[in-house]
Amino acid sequence: MRLSLVLLITISAVFSGSLAFRSVVFPSETSNSYVGMTLKKPLNLRAFTLCMRVATELSGEREIILFAYRTPDHDELNVWRELDGRLSFYLSGSGVLFKVPDLGSLQNHLCFTWDSSSGAAALFMNGRKSVTKIYGKDHTIQPGGRVLIGQDPDNFLGGFDAKQSFVGEISDVNLWDSVLSDTDVQNQFHQRTTQKGNVIDWETVDLTPTGAVEVINVNP
């Protein structure tokens, strides 16, 4: 009986994720607060799925950077909340934008998917999929850059703008070098899977906070 109870607890812990996991809190608008992330492999991507959990009370006509990957030459992959509230991502140039409900102080789970061979791009918000758009067909995201959350670097070493900085909480950032199925994305939202990113795995990635930012442990 005792063995069965231990086994049940172990299985429950596996499928609900870690007993505690990290969350990054940006308390205020700054031009010098961000978190760097160490990649498991180079971002030489012809497809991706990028997921995260986001909460922010920033409102009104203000851009918010959610994720930034920059090489010395280009913004290779940036994810934004636009001035008008739409969510978007950019691959070395013009972006693809999605009209979705506004972000707010209640946590939202976001997943962005893109496939170079077809140009198919989509956004999932809390497990629900947007319209598919065609964007960046035959493009390749180049290696040799660095990943930041909290700021948009206008050059490889910095060039931050406080009015584009993130204020709020971000967690569960995972990046794959493929497009996850709709079911897999929904399982990520509901935390019904142990599948973590093979490029960025939030549970194991090295986080390097700089400035007024706190990395905290929270219960899933």
Torsion (CA) 113, 146, 34, 79 in degrees, nearest 10: -20
- 3-class DSSP state for residue 183? helix
What pLDDT was estimated at residue 15? 42
For residue 159, is pLDDT > 60? yes
Centre a 10 Å sphere on the Cβ of residue 29 and count the other Cβ atoms it contains: 15
For residue 215, is pLDDT > 50? yes
Could you tell me if 192 and 7 are in contact, meaning their C-beta atoms sit under 8 angstroms apart?
A: no
- Between the alpha carbon of residue 106 and those of residues 14, 72, 110, 168, the distances in Å are 25, 35, 13, 10
What is the value of pTM for the model shown?
Answer: 0.89
What pLDDT was estimated at residue 39? 87
Mean pLDDT of 107-120: 98
Partners of 210 in beta bridges: 34
Mean pLDDT of 163-190: 96
Torsion (CA) 189, 190, 192, 194 in degrees, nearest 10: 30
For residue 1, is pLDDT > 50? no
**Cα radius of gyration rounded to whole Å, the chain:** 17
For residue 2, is pLDDT > 70? no
How far apart (Å, rounded) are the C-alpha atoms in residues 207 and 8?
32
Structure tokens at 36: 């760097």
How far apart (Å, rounded) are the C-alpha atoms in residues 150 and 136?
25
CA 36 to chain centre: 13
Q: What is the pLDDT of residues 9-36, one digit of tens each?
A: 333 334 444 445 899 999 999 999 999 9
Q: What is the pLDDT of residues 80-94, one digit of tens each?
A: 999 999 999 999 888
How far apart (Å, rounded) are the C-alpha atoms in residues 38 and 132?
30
What pLDDT was estimated at residue 73? 86
- 3-class DSSP state for residue 214? strand
How far apart (Å, rounded) are the C-alpha atoms in residues 39 and 36?
10
Query: Per mean pLDDT, which range of 69-73, 115-119, 152-156, 163-167 is the poorest?
Result: 152-156
- Between the alpha carbon of residue 214 and those of residues 116, 130, 150, 162, the distances in Å are 36, 32, 12, 17
Single-letter amino acid, residue 6: V
